[in-house]
Amino acid sequence: MSRHSLTRAARTSNMRWLMSLAHMEPSPVSRWVALRAALAIGLPTAVGLALDQSAAAALVALGALPAITGDNGGPYRNRALSIGSTVFGGALGYLLGNLISGHGLLTSGAMTVLVLAASLIGTFNNIAAVATLQFAVYVIVGSSLTSTLPPWLPSVLVGAGGIFGLALTLSGWVVNPIAPERAAVAMAYRKLAAMFAAIGTSRIMAARRDMEAAMTNAYDILLTARGRAAGPSPRLARLAAQLQACTPLTNAAMALARAGRVVPPDCARVMNRLADRVENNADPDPGDDIAALRLADMPQLADALAQALPLLDGGRQQTGDPLATLGPVRPRTPWRVLARTYRPGPTTVRYLIRLGLCLIAAEAVALAVSLPRSYWVPLIVVVIFKPNFGSVFARALQSCGGSVVGVAISATVLALDRNGLASLLTVGVLASLLPWSIRRNYGLFSAILLPILMLLIGALQPGSWYIALARLVDVGVAAAIVLLVGYLPWIRIERNNLDHAVSTAMSTLAAYLNTVFQADPASRHDLRASAYARLSDLRIALQRGLSEPRLVSRRALAWWPVEVALERVANAISDTAWSPQAATAAPSAAQTAQLATALQTMSTAVELGLPMPAEHITAPSPALQDVAAEIESLRAALTGPDFAAAPGAGAPKHPIHQV
């Protein structure tokens, strides 16, 4: 390759890396959510300004902040648990931070121990991750801020703000208690409509992936809602029936996709109309839609819609409980059992060691350089280094970029504000943008969150506008510590984590294939959901890897063809297991075990860096012909283009391990 070609390839790689850092995720947020966020932060601030109690009001607003950042949507009960845990974590953290403050190095040591303990608990699940992050942040803030209020009052005010924010979030439950469940079922129809529109185009893989995720999410939400229902629920039964009506429509769409048919736009419009009726709790009345599909020369879809009509009507035309067909309610494992059986693995231990080293370095740098209000450095370290929220490397750089904008906003407001009104308006407007920014891009989130924190904390410890510039130095120091202490020395581990994610996805697909044909209908959904969830985890890991340094991003880019091949394997298994012929000509356990063993062998080879199997994969039965063909394509992708280039050299090694 010429020097010009190498330069152009490097320039393209750098441009792809910069674009990954600036990538904005689609994030539609309703106006009510934005208004609720503005009220949660702006209303306490306005009351404090009116009563000349800005310090107390700032604590209430700080307590309400977790109700915004901890709201991940979904059913109200799940949101209450997530936001309530986050609010409790913030209030408890502020209390403990106040108790340990003012003791010099002992304060720093106690703060580090509390943050590490919280980070360990945060590896349990996503709710624990958000709650313990808030706990860690408020431990640092509480141990560093001084207040003229009585020692017990700040934590009470923070807790009161959290309860106020939680009440605002759950206010919609009074009007429409199952609105999130209905929205989830409607979203399944919308994703199915998008899949109809993508049939025959290059978008079909992504559209099917979104449809599978929406169906899984809707099933999980309805199962959870049924598990907590005190008795029969006609509204949930109606939604369950309407969700089951997606099955014949999905099967028809899969058949058209395999045949390579291009579907007229009327088909997608029919699905979107059904979604609107489900979301608005209106009668489906698909008679005209069935006629329109027949006129569009789509008899398969018209027949599927006619077959789904009794279910679309909410199950009123059939006997039995539609909720019963969703499968058994999953038993919940008590927290005490989870805590007793939990054992931190090597990944968790490494994360705690890396975080501990970063906190020690943050405290050492802050003391050595005498940074003003140096608690910002460990605070930013904790937020950036949290692994649950994306690439650490990308967040460090995005935080620096976002902080430049945030500091400019803060400095401008602090320099111009004379009576507090400018700060109040700024906090309210920025708070309304938080739910949107937190889902879009971490740099954008930093640019909005930093001015809110600075203006609120500024009411507790007033200072002139030049303090805003000091925050930019703090962010730069924190990002440098995370990269130099917590990331770059461990970068090879980050690269090996990608191999482990690919291996895990293969193992899950092997288990899926080995059991789905013999499983009862009640457990098939769980098997399918687990397989596609693991593929989703792999895609997220690879997307994060693309924003890492070249040592990791090259490995992530090399794994993408394998990820596509794994998706095709999962789709082939699902299509075969759910096809009408599967009930009459299902493969035997021995036949599925043969292909599952081949998948597991490749998984082990990827995990350990062993040679790939050289034998071609063949179908043990006609029913598994499509599955075997996709597994053979996966083996070819893993083997690479250099396969069999050196006869007699033995089985080829996976070329990605040479990247």
The pLDDT of residue 594 is above 60: yes
Residue 234: per-residue pLDDT: 76
Q: Which residue has the tokens 């899949």?
A: 195
Residue-wise pLDDT for 39-82, tens only, equals 999 999 999 989 888 888 988 998 898 888 877 777 777 778 88
Residue 565: per-residue pLDDT: 93
Instruction: Supply the DSSP symbol for 579.
Output: S
Q: Which residue has the tokens 């407001």?
A: 413
Percentage of the chain beyond pLDDT 70 is 83
Angle at 565 between CA 655 and CA 572, to 5 degrees: 150
CA dihedral 500, 506, 511, 514 (to 10 degrees): -160
Residue 69 is encoded by which pair of tokens? 């950042």
State how far Cα 536 lies from the chain centre.
Answer: 10
Kindly state the helix (H) or strand (E) to which residue 360 belongs, with its residue range.
Answer: helix 346-369
Round to whole Å and give the CA distance between 126 and 92: 19
Residue-wise pLDDT for 374-409, tens only, equals 678 888 888 887 765 667 788 788 888 888 888 888
Task: Give DSSP secondary structure letters for 404-465.
Answer: HHHHHHHHHHHHH-SSSHHHHHHHHHHHHHHHHHHHH-HHHHHHHHHHHHHHHHHHHS---T
Residue 611 is encoded by which pair of tokens? 């040679």
Residue 449 is encoded by which pair of tokens? 């969150």
Round to whole Å and give the CA distance between 89 and 117: 13
Mean pLDDT, residues 487-503 taken together? 88
Residue 353 is encoded by which pair of tokens? 């060691």
Residue 269 carries which side chain, given as an amino acid letter?
R
Please give the model's pTM, rounded to 2 decimal places.
0.77
Round to whole Å and give the CA distance between 163 and 167: 6
Residue 461: per-residue pLDDT: 66
3-state secondary structure labels for all residues of 177-202: CCHHHHHHHHHHHHHHHHHHHHCCCC
Residue-wise pLDDT for 197-219, tens only, equals 888 888 888 888 888 888 888 88
CB burial readout 343-362, b (16+ within 10 A) else e: eeeeebeebbebbbebbbbb
Lowest mean pLDDT among 46-55, 312-321, 545-554, 626-635: 312-321
Residue 367: per-residue pLDDT: 83
Handedness of CA 423, 428, 429, 430 (dihedral sign): positive
State how far Cα 175 lies from the chain centre.
Answer: 28
Per the prediction, the chain carries an average pLDDT of: 80
